[in-house]
Each structure stands twice: as C-alpha cells, then as structure tokens.
Amino acid sequence: MTDAAPGLVLWPAGTAQRNRLCVLISDIHCTDCTVGNQTASEADWQLFFEQMAFAVCNPGDMTVTPAVQQVEELILILNGDIVDLVRSSKWAQAGVYPWHRDDPRFEQVLVEIMRDIVAIHAKERPDDSEQPYSGFFYWMRKSVGRLRERGIATTIVPIVGNHDKELQVSPAARQVFYEECLGLTALDISDSYRAWVAAQLGTSRDELYPCLPFYFADTGLRLLATHGQWRDQDNARATSHWNARCGWLPQQWRKERYRAFSDPCFGDTVAAGMLSHFIWSTEAAIDRALPGAKRLCNLLDEMDLYRPSVAAVVRLLRESRRQARRLPQARDLHETVLCCFRASLRAWLAHTATWDSAWGTTKIGLIGLSCLSRLRWYWLDMLLMRLMAKAQEPEASIATRSLLALPAFQPAYRALGLRLHVEGHTHVALEADVQFPQPRQGRNNYTYVNLGAWRDTILPKRNRGYRRRGVGRALFIFDLARLAQRAPADSYRFYVRDMTGWGDRLDSW
C-alpha cells in the first residue's frame, strides 16, 4: 500500500503473483421496501452469481482450464449505493429525517431500516412469505462461500455511494451491514484492509467495523473505481476547501475526513427523503375503496423505478386527473393526491436543510418554485414537475472534456499504469475509449465504463403505455499474472456483461 500519486492509496497487494478476477457491479439499492422496491429480483441475482462463479472457474471459457490460467483470487466490488437508507417511510413516521444527524432517534431509525433490509435481502426467503424479496446478500454469501470451499481467495469491497453514506456516521448500522449483509465479523476483517481504509479516509484503523472506502485503485488490474457522486454538485456537500468544481482531490478530502460525501446533500438526502415522505403520506391518505385507488397505489409503489424520480410524480398526477375525468367517483382520489403532493412540496421547501444544502443556482429555482407553488393550479403543478424532471435527467453520454478530466486518466495516475476508470451513480450504462501519447507503454488504450444500475425500471413504450423491465451490468477484469511470463498479450482483459429481462411478473398489473 503506497501513496504513490497525489492522494491515491493503492489496494494492498499480496507478495505472491496470483491470477485474479475482479467483478464490479453498482447501484443495487437494497431498500426496506416501505416506499417501493428498487433492486433486481431474486432470479436476476441467482443468474448473476452463477455467471460470476463460471467466470472464476472458466476464465477463458474453455472446457478444461490450464493451471497457469486458473483464477486464484476473486475481488467483488460493490460500487456504491449498495443499500439505500434514504428510501424509507420510517423517517416520515418517526418525524426524523436523514439530515437530522444530531437527533438521538437518528441512529435508532437507521438501524431499524438496516434490520428490515437484512430480512428482505440477506436472509433465505421463507416458503410462506409474501413480503418483497431479492435475496441479494443471501445469494452473494452462498456464492462466495462455495468459491472459498474450492480454495479461491475471495474479498468483498463495499464502496460508499450517496444513498448509503449514512453508514459512515453510524457505527451501529455499519456493524449490521458488515455482519448481516456481507457476512463479516470484526475478526474476519483483515489488518491490511483496515490499514487501507484508514490511510484512504484519514480515519482510525482501530474501528471494529471500518467506514466504507471511497474508491478502489489497483495497478495490476489497471483500475480506478469509485461511485461517481464526486462529480455531482447536488450529491456532494461543498466544504470550506472543496466543491464539485474542484474535481478529484482525495488529499483534500482526507484532511476533511471525506465530509463532502458523508454530510447531508440536497439531492440524495433532502430531496429523496421528501419524495419518500410524499409516497408514504399519499398511500396513507388514499381511500382504497374508491375506484382507481388500487392503480394509484401501484404507481406509488413503483415511483422509485423511474429515472429521474420526479417523472413518476408527473405520471401520478396525470393518471389521477385522467381517472377523475372518466369517473366522477374518483374526483376525491385526485384531490387527495393533489393535497398530499402540495403538502409534501411545502414541507420540503420549509425545511432549513433544503436551502442549506442547495447550490446557488438551485436556490434560485427553489425561490421560483416556492412562489409559484402557492397558486394551486393543476397545470402549473404539472409544468413545475416537468421542469424539475428535465433538470434532473441523468447524462445520456459523457462529454469529452469530462472524460479527459477523470482521475484515472491524469498524468500522475497514468504513469502508475491505470487505464480503466469505472463508476456508477447515474444509472445509465456507458462506455468510452480515449488515447494519450504519454506514457508510451504498449497500446495507449484508456477506457471509461459506467456500470449503470441493477434494478427494475419503468420506461415508456414507443407509441403509448409503459413497460417494466430488469436491467443490470457487470464488469469482469482478468489479471492473469502467472500467465504474463508466457503470453503477456493474453494475461489481461476485461469485458462487460449486460442483462435485460422482460416477463409477466414485471408487468403484473
């Protein structure tokens, strides 16, 4: 482990040259399902972990793998937003929100959310259970356990994102995450891992359950992986010496204990927290006996499956108005939805945290939103939501200027042999290749990969209506160090596997 380039702390390498496979997935978003279920289904996770085990045992997709090519070590990187601690009704029910860090109930609510996440995503599903279930952590631990039985050294590296950053400030919730989700007790966490996290974050190596690292850098894998929220001003909190315009500055972040990525932010903490409040309060207020109520409740359950989430609010308001026009009995339903929407919007704008965490340009928009929202006109509500959705559209591509500024492509990092920059965060799977004249070592290929998200999504059909489908992307990187002496051209390679699934289960209503 060295601080070889500005601020960069490398993954601790072993003394022996081993054949390694690194697998990365991002944005799993395991929630407690109280305001919707964001993550992929159990069948998706079973298939993914079967693919991972196959890649370990068959790195060249051969019937019989020569000993010199056999994988001896697996590193599984969960690249941020592993659990989603904001998308929960428990905050609204308790009257405590994710930005109320000083409230004595904050950690209690957080641990309760983690306990429910464990029940849904980390335990074996009971045969008679009707609750939502994905089993991600359960199937991950089973797969890793089988590989370890075969003698494969296996390490799970959880990178912090912007929806699970509350783990950084709560040792109790972090303990539940390590023990129940990752299957690691304090004794299972190696000294080298503790030292790596402490050196990276500037924290103590004596913590029983370390904070989640912010990035993973390994020269053998040629890889720098981080969640990507550091490029998003709404999901990174400006400090006295850093804001999103400053770019990648891990040496400064370490001085400030990475507060920019653990303190409450406008997008992930405040706005997302209030959306959860809207879903919870609307479901509680809806009279289930009214015509169309079931359909609207289904829409509320799926609001987190839209990107951006504000688009789901637009559809909900439009659907409730359509039903009110078609069925006179549904007019009260539409009024209920509108009242809950306006009350949640006013509550969001009334919170000090909304204004304190917003950037200057965002505050100007909030002032306009605050004034216009008082008019209580449906067409204006729809216009405001559409404008907010437009402003929050995730990037469909990465601009060349942004690509060239990524840390893995900076001269000091390139000199170490880094060639591959990986992130998630936007939920949009992307890839791009660039080339630099220096250093002149072999082929100067540099690649950016965005891992997208593992989740079900709702997308409009070409002509009319909506379709639900599951999406997922995994990156496999092979560093066959023992093969390098014989066939250097075959010793390093990587590929992406995308999975898109359709089915009647997804379109159940």
Q: What is the DSSP string of 366-408?
A: HHHHHHHGGG--HHHHHHHHHHHHHHTPPPSS--HHHHHTSGG
Look at residue 8 and tell me if it is in a domain. no
Give the whole-angstrom CA distance, residue 45 versus residue 323: 37
Smallest CA-to-CA distance from 88 within 60, 55, 115, 61 is with: 115
- Angle, alpha carbons 274-471-308 (nearest 5°): 30
Among candidate residues 363, 391, 419, the one where a domain is terminated: 391
- Angle, alpha carbons 34-38-39 (nearest 5°): 120
Q: What are the mean pLDDT values of the chain's consecutive 10-residue runs (509 residues total)?
A: 73 82 96 88 93 90 80 97 94 91 95 97 84 91 97 97 96 98 97 96 94 96 97 91 93 95 87 82 91 88 79 86 87 89 85 83 80 80 74 78 93 92 95 84 84 89 88 95 82 92 78
Quote the number of domains for the chain. 2
Among candidate residues 362, 391, 420, the one where a domain is terminated: 391
Look at residue 429 and tell me if it is in a domain. yes
Look at residue 152 and tell me if it is in a domain. yes
Strand bridging mode 492-501 / 466-480: antiparallel
pLDDT in tens, 116-125: 999 999 999 8
Give the whole-angstrom CA distance, residue 345 versus residue 144: 45
Give Cβ neighbours of residue 22 (< 8 Å, ≥ 6 apart).
74, 75, 76, 77, 218, 221, 223, 476, 477, 479
Model-wide pTM > 0.85: yes
Omega of the bond leading into 308 within 30 degrees of 0 (cis): yes
Give the whole-angstrom CA distance, residue 478 versus residue 64: 17
**Region of 427 on the Ramachandran plot (φ > 0 left; ψ -120 to 50 alpha; else beta):** left
Give the whole-angstrom CA distance, residue 216 versus residue 63: 32
Give the whole-angstrom CA distance, residue 220 versus residue 479: 7
Using an 8 Å Cβ cutoff, are 209 and 173 in contact?
no
Q: What's the confidence (pLDDT) of residue 14?
A: 65
386 and 446 both lie in a single domain: no
Give the whole-angstrom CA distance, residue 222 versus residue 464: 45
Tokens of 508: 């159940």
Using an 8 Å Cβ cutoff, are 230 and 244 in contact?
yes
Among candidate residues 343, 363, 391, the one where a domain is terminated: 391
384 and 399 both lie in a single domain: no
Omega of the bond leading into 59 within 30 degrees of 0 (cis): no
54 and 194 both lie in a single domain: yes
Q: Tokens 């950037």, residue?
A: 359
Q: What's the confidence (pLDDT) of residue 404?
A: 92
Q: Give 443's DSSP letter.
A: -
Smallest CA-to-CA distance from 234 within 147, 310, 168 is with: 310
pLDDT in tens, 215-259: 999 999 999 999 999 999 889 999 999 999 999 999 999 999 999
Give Cβ neighbours of residue 35 (< 8 Å, ≥ 6 apart).
87, 88, 89, 276, 279, 280, 300, 301, 303, 304
Give the residue numbers spanning the domain of 314.
266-305+308-391
Tokens of 235: 């999901």
- The dihedral through the CA atoms of 174, 180, 186, 188 has a sign that is negative
Look at residue 32 and tell me if it is in a domain. yes
337 and 400 both lie in a single domain: no
Q: What's the confidence (pLDDT) of residue 442?
A: 63
Please state the three-class secondary structure of 65-84 as a single string: CCHHHCCCEEEEEEECCCEC
Which amino acid, 2?
Answer: T
Using an 8 Å Cβ cutoff, are 456 and 506 in contact?
yes
Q: Tokens 């100007």, residue?
A: 364
Look at residue 408 and tell me if it is in a domain. yes
87 and 155 both lie in a single domain: yes
61 and 81 both lie in a single domain: yes
Look at residue 4 and tell me if it is in a domain. no
Give the whole-angstrom CA distance, residue 139 versus residue 20: 22
328 and 184 both lie in a single domain: no
Strand bridging mode 19-25 / 73-79: parallel
Q: What's the confidence (pLDDT) of residue 345?
A: 84
325 and 421 both lie in a single domain: no
Q: What's the confidence (pLDDT) of residue 392?
A: 67
Q: Tokens 């990092």, residue?
A: 413
348 and 480 both lie in a single domain: no
Tokens of 349: 């704008």
258 and 114 both lie in a single domain: yes
Look at residue 12 and tell me if it is in a domain. no
Which amino acid, 476?
Answer: F
Give the whole-angstrom CA distance, residue 157 versus residue 212: 8
Give the whole-angstrom CA distance, residue 12 versus residue 401: 32
Task: Count CB-CB contacts under 10 A for residue 2.
Answer: 12
Look at residue 5 and tell me if it is in a domain. no
Give the whole-angstrom CA distance, residue 70 versus residue 60: 9
- Angle, alpha carbons 322-502-182 (nearest 5°): 110
168 and 273 both lie in a single domain: no
Q: What's the confidence (pLDDT) of residue 271?
A: 77
Q: What's the confidence (pLDDT) of residue 203?
A: 94
Q: What's the confidence (pLDDT) of residue 93?
A: 92
Greatest CA separation for the chain: 77
376 and 481 both lie in a single domain: no
Give the whole-angstrom CA distance, residue 94 versus residue 105: 8
Could you list the beta-strand ranges (E) of 376-491: 420-423, 429-435, 445-451, 455-460, 466-480
